[in-house]
Amino acid sequence: MTQENWYDEAHPELTRRRFLSALGATTAATFLGGAPRALADEKRIKQPTATADSCILIWMAGGMAAPETFDPKRYKPYEVGTPVDQIISTFPAIDTAVDNIKICQGLENIAGVMDRATLIRSHFQPDLGSILHSRHQYHWHTGYVPPQTVAAPHIGAWMAKVLGGRNDVMPAFINIGQQLEGHGESEELKAFTTGGFFGSEYGPMNLPFPDLASQAVKPPGGMSPDRFSKRYKALENLLKNSPKSGELSDYHQESMLRSIDNAHRLLGSKEREAFDLTLEKKEIFDEYNTGRFGQGCLLARRLVENGARFVEVTTEYIPFVHWDTHENGHSTVERMKKEIDRPIARLIKDLEERGLLDRTLVVIATEFSRDMMIEGVPGSIAQDQSRAATDVIKEMKHYGLHRHFTGGSSVVMFGGGMKKGFLYGATADERPCLVRENPVSIEDLHATIFTAMGISPKTEYSIEGRPFYATKDGIGKAVRDVFA
């Protein structure tokens, strides 16, 4: 595909805010539509000094088992007849670029960049019944346990709302890799993939297929750029000549003009090229390209380079697929590592080479960890969750971590003001692998991320007369030890 240069020289008029100036609209109101509003006190909250300008959340959707990835435990090779309660980890540990940090086999590339990472091994989640992934994902992404009486905003929406975009074209919150239609629990995913009560202005731009992302910022299918810009010009002309243009200073109508203007500014901007992966050098594209996820990492890098504030890249949540291993855990995780290892490592190096890593916070996280078969709680016993329920390993599909475990998971953070080559927290060596030191709750982890981005965890907005905080009830406390 050739690069289209239609936006700049040919149509310089498309690159600036034209509607509003052309029509003499004057107010510079923020378009909140009434609720929600910042509490009067918000101004008095001292926002921390940001150590990062952008955040990339790499989401291991479905429950990535820590003992199989970033928190290796006693390795037990596959052997028919092994009692399952003897198995904690099905991958041996490997060395990393940091002496005291070992991770699991299959993550060799990431091991090579762990000297740029802070590894938190003591993240934990409350047990919401251990059943529905989407509820835990809702909790992780909004900081609030669902259901909520008001629509809770995604953490990306908080960043879009409080910080806004980094430039005046790039959407502040972009969500890569998750299809929101066509599988079980898709409606539940939509419930938190949203701006919540902040409204859709702060919601995500969804790009489920990275290789098709460029379509989101291009003229509709079959329309030439020239026709697209003419159409916009025609609208502008009709507006200017409308006998009703005198009413356009109404804030409702202004919001529409401004938004159409914003949309066309993005679609006519240089930054829109960031969405087009075909413009990347082939060897770099190939290195990222382990599939949709790998392409998503590349897209995230391109977007951040061009001013995105918050980007989420997911391995995609589909019930019983990818990290959601209820059987065949070992072989599935082996495959998943192949998908994530190279692109994540490349992303870190690319950001570093471009001098962006210091101001870009990259976070790898998941809704909970996994365990073999044990710790049944009433109404939620291990056998109910595994499709390969057994007491001893009889075949390969039994080998792997198949039940949900909320007592201890790993989070990896790169750049954005975090320490380098730093290990924080630990889980027990033997089952149950509960957090043993320095527990980090969702509230505290979010507080850490928000603080790095320059948002106080106590930042609050009032909705329906209720104060609503960036971290639940404003209680999140940043983990100071992980900041460089």
Partner 1 sequence: MAFRIPSLLLLFALASSLHAAVDFAHEVVPILEKNCVECHGGDKSKGGLSINSRALLLDADVLEIGKPEDSLFIEVLTAEDPEDRMPPPKKKKEALNSAEIAVLEKWIAEGLVWEEGFTFAVDRYEPPLKPRVVKLPAGAPGTNPIDLIVAAHLKSKETKAPQPVDDRTFLRRVTLDLTGLPPAPEALSELPSEGKLDRAAAVDKLLANNQAYAEHWMTFWNDLLRNEYIGTGYIEGGRQQVTTWLYRSLLENKPFDAFIREIIAPGPDSGGFIKGIKWRGVVNASQTTEIQFSQNVSQVFLGINMKCASCHDSFTDRWTLKEAYGLAQIYSEAPLELVRCDKPTGEKAEASWIFPELGNVDPTKPRDERLKQLAELVTHPENGRTQRTIVNRLWNQMMGRGIVHPVDAMNTEPWNEDILDHLANYLVVSKYDLKAVMRLIATSRTYQSRTEVRDEDEGTYVFKGPVRKRMTAEQFIDSIRQVIGVWPAPDQNAFGKGLTGGQLTAVMEAHGLKEWDKRPVRAVFAKRDELQAALGRPNREQVVSARPDIVTTLEAINLANGPELAALLKAGAANLQGKAAPRELIENTYLAALSRKPTDSEVRIAMEILGETPTPEATEDFLWSIFMLPEFIYIN
| Residues 2-21 contacting partner 1, CB under 8 A | none
Residue 225: is it exposed, middle or buried by C-beta count within 10 angstroms (0-12/13-18/19+)?
A: middle
Identify the CA nearest to 356 among candidates 299, 273, 415, 300: 415
Q: How far is the CB of 413 from partner 1 (least distance, A)?
A: 22
Residues 430-459 close enough to bind partner 1 by CB under 8 A: 458
Three-state DSSP state, 184: coil
Q: How far is the CB of 3 from partner 1 (least distance, A)?
A: 19
Work out which of 24, 83, 147, 164 binds partner 1, going by CB under 8 A.
147
Q: Determine which residue in the list 47, 82, 148, 179 makes contact with partner 1, applying CB under 8 A.
A: 148
Judged by CB, which is closer to partner 1: 32, or 284? 32
Cβ proximity to partner 1, 25 vs 56, nearer residue: 25
Q: Cβ of residue 177: shortest distance to partner 1, in angstroms?
A: 17
Q: How many CB atoms lie under 10 A from the CB of residue 242?
A: 12
* Residue span binding partner 1 (CB under 8 A) among the ranges 68-76, 77-85, 257-265, 427-435: 257-265
Distance CA 25, CA 459 (A): 32
Q: Which of residues 339-358 bind partner 1 (CB under 8 A)?
A: none
- 248 near partner 1, rule: CB under 8 A: yes
Residues 6+ apart with CB under 8 A from 427: 66, 71, 121, 122, 407, 408, 433, 434, 435, 436
Q: Which of residues 69-128 bind partner 1 (CB under 8 A)?
A: 127-128
User: Binding to partner 1 (CB under 8 A): which residues in 180-239?
Assistant: 184-185, 187-188, 190-191, 199-201, 203, 205, 215-221, 223, 227, 230-231, 234-235, 237-239
Element (H, E) at 362: strand 360-366
Check binding of 303 to partner 1 (CB under 8 A).
no
Cβ neighbour number for residue 40 with a 10 Å cutoff: 8
CA dist 243 to 18, 139, 260, Å? 19, 50, 20
Which one among 270, 466, 481, 484 touches partner 1, defined by CB under 8 A? Answer: 466
**Residues 383-422 within binding reach of partner 1 (CB under 8 A):** none
By C-beta, is 187 or 429 nearer to partner 1?
187
CA angle, 99 then 104 then 107, to 5°: 90
Binding residue count for partner 1, defined by CB under 8 A: 85
Which residue carries 């916070």 as its tokens?
361
- Residue count of the chain: 484
| Of residues 258-297, those binding partner 1 (CB under 8 A) | 258-260, 262-264, 266-267
Residue at 99: amino acid letter: D
Which tokens go with 438? 């320095």
Contact 357, 345 (CB under 8 A): no
The answer to whether 429 contacts partner 1 (rule: CB under 8 A) is no
Which residue lies nearer to partner 1 by CB, 15 or 215?
215
**What is residue 262's three-state secondary structure?**
helix
119 versus 205: smaller Cβ distance to partner 1? 205
Nearest to 428 by CA among 106, 88, 119, 102: 88
Considering the complex, state which of residue 80 and residue 377 has its C-beta at the smaller distance from partner 1: 377
The single residue among 47, 255, 331, 438 that binds partner 1, judged by CB under 8 A, is: 255
- Between 59 and 232, name the residue whose CB sits nearer to partner 1: 232
User: Which residue's CB is nearer to partner 1, number 66 or number 266?
Assistant: 266
Please, what is the minimum distance in Å from the beta carbon of residue 178 to partner 1?
A: 14
The gap from C-alpha 253 to its chain's centroid, in whole angstroms, comes to 33
Phi, psi (deg, nearest 5) at residue 478: -60, 140
Reduce the DSSP state of residue 240 to 3 states and report it. Answer: helix
Q: Which is nearer to partner 1, 24 or 467 (CB)?
A: 467
Q: Are strands 310-314 and 466-469 parallel, antiparallel or unpaired?
A: unpaired
Q: With CB under 8 A as the contact rule, which of the stretches 52-60, 64-72, 255-263, 295-303 interacts with partner 1?
A: 255-263
Residue 100 or 241 having the CB closest to partner 1:
241
